[in-house]
């Protein structure tokens, strides 16, 4: 299992719009084969900071997701202040 965190910073004042767009994306991502969750979080201290937590079965599912995000991410243009900080994690049990 691969966990992913993506921390995004919205253009100042656009945090709620970023959350709305990410919720639309989440509704599609959870349909992807190999996706176990895609959760949208908004910082309680800074509304312009959004965290996405995702889980995928394996590397193949993650790569398929990345290809799909190219299509899904079009609505993010103008909402992001910079590139997301993306970290990958391997589930240890």
| Interval 35-46: pLDDT, tens | 999 999 999 999
- Does the structure show a pLDDT above 90 at 52? yes
Report all structural domains of the chain as residue ranges with CATH numbers, in order of start. Answer: 2-90 (3.30.70.100)
Contacts within 8 Å (CB) and 24+ apart, 71-80? 72/25, 72/28, 72/29, 73/25, 75/21, 75/24, 75/25, 76/18, 76/21, 78/11, 78/14, 79/10, 79/11, 79/14, 79/17, 79/18, 79/21, 80/8, 80/9, 80/10, 80/11, 80/18
Q: What is the mean pLDDT of residues 21-39?
A: 96
Confidence band, pLDDT 50/70/90 cuts, at residue 93: confident
């Amino acid at each position: 299992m691969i966990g992913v965190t993506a921390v995004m910073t919205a253009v100042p004042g656009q945090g709620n719009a970023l959350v709305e767009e990410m919720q639309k994306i989440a509704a599609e991502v959870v349909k992807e084969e190999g996706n176990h969750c895609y959760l949208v979080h908004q910082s309680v201290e800074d509304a312009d900071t959004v965290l996405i937590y995702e889980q995928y079965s394996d590397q193949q599912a993650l790569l398929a997701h990345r290809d799909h995000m190219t299509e899904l991410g079009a609505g993010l243009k103008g909402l992001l202040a910079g590139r997301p900080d993306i970290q990958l994690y391997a589930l240890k049990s």
